[in-house]
Amino acid sequence: MAYSLGMRGLKIRGKLLAVVALAALVTALGGCDGGGDPASDGPLSSGSSMHGGIPHGENCVPGGHAQTFGDQLFTNYGQVTVVVDRVALLHPRSERLIGSYAVPGRWLIGVVFWPAKYPHMPPTWNHRQPMHGFRLAPGKSFNMVLGVTATGTGWATSQGMLVFYHDPSGSYVAKNYFAMTIAATKHGC
């Protein structure tokens, strides 16, 4: 069977090339779940809305003791339940994550020594759950409570946190840019 190089053949070949080019573009832009990095535009956010207001700032605490950083809320702005896979520090330097809890509700545990325990703790602390596998229904919030320790004698810091999670639509990462700094000394920041 022979194919003509006439106009009809060029039209078919042009359409085929256009389809191949479009498929390559969609794949390159992440339209297909090819096992790449999780999307950052999922329904979970630490901001005041799904796509804006992600907190920036810093907590700086004296050194010499592991710390609880529990002053960030995350909310599910989606229509389905999300499941947390893991949490990680964002660009840690001489700092290590030693524990993490999801505390359902909008009460904040605060920034105190790790493990968190003080008089008049919010009643929601009794309902804390490990981050891995934590499920959050649509419209609900939780307080992210991280245990962090310095791994050296100098200043220890991270630029925030990353929360890896999924829902039936795919895998995502929620970013939070509230830095966690542990000073080099017990006397402050």
pLDDT in tens, 42-94: 999 998 654 455 667 899 999 999 999 999 999 999 999 999 999 999 999 99
Q: Which CATH class is domain 44-182?
A: mainly beta
Residues whose CB falls within 8 Å of the CB of residue 159, separated by 6 or more in sequence, listed in order: 90, 91, 177, 179
Domain boundaries, the chain: 1-35, 44-182
Q: Where are the alpha helices (DSSP H) in 36-90?
A: none
| CA distances to 16, 20, 47 from 6, in Å | 16, 21, 59
Q: What are phi and psi of 101, to 5 degrees?
A: -135, 150
pLDDT tens per residue across span 4-28: 334 343 343 444 333 333 333 333 3
